[in-house]
Amino acid sequence: MENVFIHHVYFWLKNSGNEADRDQLVEGLRKLSKATTINQFHIGKPADTSRGVIDSSYAVSWMLIFENDADQATYQTDPIHLKFIEECAHLWSKVVVYDAVDVK
């Protein structure tokens, strides 16, 4: 794919280590994955790796692949995305996003 847009989101829970909260966030992400502009997605948790460059302090990661920037922009205002924020924002204390596009 050309002009691919990667949107990678990391969530830290307010109740760090609370499995019920993590499960609720993951369920919310599964619902969010139904947004039509998402080409591919991955819901993850920190891997059991340990090197100086690895930050495994987050609870859940959410990686999305969009065909282009326009699809990602549409996703941001998709009612499914807005509902996810409304229903799950109380679960997280911090969110960090890394967006990436193709090197030309």
Residues 6+ apart with CB under 8 A from 3: 67, 68, 69, 101, 102
* CATH number of this structure's domain 5-47+57-101, picked from the four choices 3.40.50.150, 3.30.70.100, 3.40.30.10, 1.10.10.10: 3.30.70.100
pLDDT at residue 3, rounded to an integer: 85
pLDDT at residue 1, rounded to an integer: 63
Classified as helix, coil or strand, 80 is helix
pTM, rounded to two decimals: 0.93
Provide the residue ranges of all domains of the chain, joining segments of one domain with +. Answer: 5-47+57-101
| pLDDT by position in tens, the chain (length 104) | 678 999 999 999 999 999 999 999 999 999 999 999 999 999 999 999 999 999 999 999 999 999 999 999 999 999 999 999 999 999 999 999 999 999 88
